[in-house]
Structure 1
Amino acid sequence: MYEKASLPTAVCAALLFVAPDARGQLPVRLEFEVGGLQNPTDVTAPVGDSRLFVTEQLAGRVRIVDANGTLLPTAYLQLGSDFVAGGERGLLGLAFDPNYATNGHLFVTYTDSQGRLVLSRFTRSVTNRNQADTASEVVLLRLDQPFLVHKGADLDFGPDGYLYMTVGDGGGSGDGTCRPQELDTLLGKVLRLDVAPIDATGSYGIPPDNPLIGIPGALPEILHGGLRNPWRFGIDPLSGDLWIGDVGESKWEEINWADADERLVNFGWKIMEGPDCFNSPGCNGSNYLPCGSPLLRQPLSAYTHIDGCAVIGGQVYRGTDIPALQGTYLYADFCSSKIWAVRGFEGQLVSFEELTGQLQASASYSSPTSIGRDGFGELVMATIGGSLYRFVPEPNSPTPIHPLSGDVDAVSITSGGVQTLELDGGADRGGSFFFMSGTASGVHPGLPIDGTLVPIELDVYTFQLLDPTAGNVVTPIFGVLNGLGRSQVLFDLPAGVVDPGLAGLTLHHVFLAFGRDFAFEFCSNAESVRLDP
């Protein structure tokens, strides 16, 4: 059994489960990119690279789609004889080192001839940029799994430079034991590895802030747990937050979320499936958390098997082609081919929209297997039939409304500074009340307690963090939007009143809108400001 290390303050908390922004559907459509692939399982690209790289599950190949949209006939990488495919086995995940342009490193997950899940590093050929050196393989991890299913095996690098990997519970109906809740196994977990110092033997490092370092019997690779089959996940390249699609057992499909700064979040399986208790032999007794425990993280979003049968976790959009999609998380279902778009803030769902109809109208597709990110942050979807589709803007899309925007990115603790925040809730919210709130990310050096400096994680908003002598540095905290649904707020930080130890902290403002009857209507996007020395 384990417990979640910290629970962030939920800003738009408990006010409502879903609050769609009613200003119209997102201006996005699908555009066919290329076909001819065999069972693609992942699509990605190195940062700044105009090519797409696609894993073919059964063939054990990585293929390239060039900048002109042509599928190159020669594989970028072909796995060798120690490889087996079929069912949920095969070549499953791919991620490029953030420094791929200089070091040529890429990482893949696949099943070997003994059915073990393998994590390996390859290196790009020194003579051909469109091929990897098959002799360069360095195996980092071979993981025994008791059954042929629930591999997980997705890969991504976070903004922190570390490699993240999802691992399924090992399979078996209901996971006959309780592996996702145990700390002595990597099954049912999110792993976080330092792959910069790898030597020829495949020895990787453990990030120094991983939560289980030095804990007897616990594996230090573990970052989070309580997962069943986290087939695809994504890391927000801006915030570092994790968005995990966890394929369910008998009823629920889940989208799980964890803040970038959180450690050891317990997503509940197999004590719970979605919001429900699960009949979980092997997870009973005092060693495990009870069903419904607040230490079991509820999904950010979940749907039943009426709407599908296997969630395909997606990505948070951080590209530039579709401004209205900025900060939106897209995900799909393999069986129903439905696609949804959601926005979240600090673990709370604040908008939800199904896009299936408009996307099917632009390009007929079926059975998504992955939603990946190209080298410039644009989203690409793979389907089991071997096709890729791009998410592109609708022609003549209207200029998107950014409900909250600021004019500067940082203010100085020493000399002070002002960030002007423009609020725009839309004309339909004219006359609504607003309330400024938010959160913070970063680490304070610590508080002196009994002569010892005790580090703390900060997750409260501006006027709770700053020295009370600063007064209300956000003005006004409360107000009324004008007839066009707009207002202006100042984050006015006086010089020299803030603890210098807060330098480097980032504050994230939001505003909440309420109707004349004080019913909650809307939570804006987050707008950030950094505290510089």
Structure 2
Amino acid sequence: MKKSLLSITLFSSLLFYSQSFVLQEFATGLSNPVEITHANDNRLFVVQQNGIIKIIQPNGTVNSADFLNISSKITFSGERGLLGLAFHPQYATNGYFFVFYNNTAGNIVVARYSVSTGNPNIADSTTEKIILNIPKPFDNHNGGSIHFAPDGNLWIVTGDGGSGGDPNNNAQNKNSLLGKMLRIDINSTGAYNIPSGNPFVGIDGADEIWSYGLRNAWKFSFDLTTNNAMIADVGQGAIEEINKMPIATPALNYGWRCYEGNDAYNTAGCAASTTMTFPVAVYDHSGGKCSITGGYVYRGTASPSLQGRYFFADYCSQQIGSLDSNNVITWSTAFTGNNFSTFGEDNMKELYVAAVNNGKIYKITTANLGLNETTFKPMRIYPNPASERVFIEGMTNLPHTIDLISTEGKIVLKDVKLDSDYSFDITGIEPGVYYINIKSDDRKEFSQKLIIK
């Protein structure tokens, strides 16, 4: 099967009696926010899908004047619009920033703009330089996230082109720029240069490609403490996935359309699964989940207890998840009324999250003010490794049932009820690595890797 299967969290909900963070309302009045970033100062820049970029001051005040308005250049509908923003590493001296949008033909465009010479809060909309213009066959699956890596190259994630099931096989086609992570050098007199180290230069495949096999990676980020790229890829209809790979590792195939998460989807004509890199964590659509919104690993200082956790969200369930260093996911309770569309960092690496439906920006914190504030009580599964019986400590009085799933996705035990001593029988189950999924009657869940010996 795939690489790193033993570290994959197949079903990744943690039973939340309370959560270890809160959301503090930071700014309101935005329209369809889809990106939050900074320019190495204390302002936040919020990308609105309608083609406008707004600036938020440190006190949460939104500037009345737009930083940039290119609404006349874009298609704003469904998944299309102005989607990404990245500031050049030398922005303070050259004033360059880059945007990702769908133009009026629906194509993916990456373009460079400059800040105005007289006002740091307003860009010069006449300075556009087109970097990439990629035609798309369908409206959906655009990608949209762009970031500069530590080496100064620009990384760009593109969707597979749209429809369902990648009918044109773009993600696996190394000669297509769709369904890819692209890596380009924008410090050039022309549109861009190809950086040294791009894996397909001089061989089969487009020179711009760094990695491939992505469906619609709605948000990626860099964790520079561990030098990993964190990529959240939206699933077809059943599985959402999180990929975590070293920034320096090229030519990875993340598996789509051959696999959705860890599950075979359409393997016709696909390479061997052993050549693919599979996610470190996945979750299914139980509990109303539907679509992952990728975020960041927390590296700020204001909330030390959050240090090292990767924050992301599910758009439909309105929950925020966090992934720990063991690739175990914990879920918050639902933040009702918030369809989370993006996360962002400020210049101090504190985290923010935006809701596209109500135009609000929240700060993620452990302070005592917030939305849906609670704290959580963990559970314990033992022994692990186990044989004969597995015991669960920390259960509530609610009825619970157990599913046991193999790393290949096969349900080995289904809806097993716990005995009076809060244990269940695993006699006769083949030794190996499994995922235990505990479900309660109040629709909460807990999942953890279990080794049976």
Q: TM-score range by the shorter chain?
A: 0.7 to 0.9
1:209 matched residue in structure 2: 197
Query: Which of 370, 376, 380 is the equivalent residue of 2:352?
Result: 380
Query: Which of 52, 59, 67 is the equivalent residue of 1:68?
Result: 59
Q: Aligned pair in 2 of structure 1 residues 31, 256: CA closer, same or farther (>3 Å)?
A: same
Indicate the SS of the match to 1:266. coil
CA RMSD of aligned residues (A): 2.7
Contact 1:322–1:392 (8 Å) recurs in 2: yes
Query: Which of 79, 88, 92 is the equivalent residue of 1:97?
Result: 88
Q: Aligned pair in 2 of structure 1 residues 65, 17: CA closer, same or farther (>3 Å)?
A: closer
Query: Which of 145, 168, 181 is the equivalent residue of 1:154?
Result: 145
Q: Aligned pair in 2 of structure 1 residues 64, 119: CA closer, same or farther (>3 Å)?
A: same
- Between the aligned partners of 1:337 and 1:151, the Cα distance in structure 2 is 22
- The question of 1:284 aligning with 2:268 is answered yes
- Between the aligned partners of 2:18 and 2:78, the Cα distance in structure 1 is 37
Contact 1:380–1:388 (8 Å) recurs in 2: yes
1:394 matched residue in structure 2: 367
Report deviation, 1:254: 1.0
- Between the aligned partners of 2:123 and 2:158, the Cα distance in structure 1 is 25
**AA of the residue aligned to 1:90:** G
Contact 2:100–2:109 (8 Å) recurs in 1: yes
Query: Which of 76, 97, 119 is the equivalent residue of 1:85?
Result: 76
- Between the aligned partners of 2:183 and 2:226, the Cα distance in structure 1 is 16
2:390 matched residue in structure 1: none
- The question of 1:185 aligning with 2:176 is answered yes
- Between the aligned partners of 2:25 and 2:302, the Cα distance in structure 1 is 16
**AA of the residue aligned to 1:182:** N
- Between the aligned partners of 1:375 and 1:98, the Cα distance in structure 2 is 13
Deviations 1:116-165 (A, max 9, x none): 11000111111001011111111100000100000001111122222111
How many aligned positions are there?
Answer: 369
With a CA cutoff of 8 Å and minimum separation of 6, indicate the structure with the bigger relative contact order. 2
Deviations 1:408-466 (A, max 9, x none): xxxxxxxxxxxxxxxxxxxx9xxxxxxxxxxxxxxxxxxxxxxxxxxxxxxxxxxxxxx
1:134 matched residue in structure 2: 125
Indicate the SS of the match to 2:217. coil
Higher alpha-carbon deviation: 236-245 or 165-174 = 236-245
Indicate the SS of the match to 1:181. coil
Q: 1:7-406, aligned counterparts within 5 Å?
A: 14=6, 17=9, 27-47=20-40, 49-58=41-50, 60-79=51-70, 81-195=72-186, 197-199=187-189, 201=190, 203-215=191-203, 217-278=204-265, 280=266, 284-285=268-269, 288-290=270-272, 293-307=273-287, 308-344=289-325, 349-356=326-333, 360=335, 365-384=337-356, 385-395=358-368
Q: Aligned pair in 2 of structure 1 residues 20, 176: CA closer, same or farther (>3 Å)?
A: closer
- Between the aligned partners of 2:151 and 2:299, the Cα distance in structure 1 is 17
Q: Percent sequence identity over matched residues?
A: 36
- Between the aligned partners of 1:26 and 1:173, the Cα distance in structure 2 is 35
Which structure 1 residue ranges, 5 or more long, are not aligned?
A: 397-427, 429-519, 522-533
Higher alpha-carbon deviation: 176-185 or 293-302 = 293-302
**AA of the residue aligned to 2:196:** P
1:527 matched residue in structure 2: none
Deviations 1:230-262 (A, max 9, x none): 111111132331111111111111111211221
**AA of the residue aligned to 1:138:** K
Deviations 1:57-90 (A, max 9, x none): 02x1000111221111110001163322111111
Q: Aligned pair in 2 of structure 1 residues 57, 21: CA closer, same or farther (>3 Å)?
A: closer
2:404 matched residue in structure 1: none
**AA of the residue aligned to 1:340:** G
Indicate the SS of the match to 2:114. strand
Which structure 2 residue ranges, 5 or more long, are not aligned?
A: 370-379, 381-448
Q: Based on CA coordinates, which of the two structures has the bigger radius of gyration? A: 1
Deviations 1:251-286 (A, max 9, x none): 1111112112211111110001111111x3xx623x
Contact 1:239–1:260 (8 Å) recurs in 2: no
Q: Which portions of structure 1, spanning 4 or more consecutive aligned residues, are displaced by more than 6 angstroms?
A: 18-22
- Between the aligned partners of 1:21 and 1:173, the Cα distance in structure 2 is 30
Q: Aligned pair in 2 of structure 1 residues 73, 16: CA closer, same or farther (>3 Å)?
A: closer
Contact 1:25–1:353 (8 Å) recurs in 2: no
- Between the aligned partners of 1:251 and 1:223, the Cα distance in structure 2 is 27
Report deviation, 1:172: 1.4
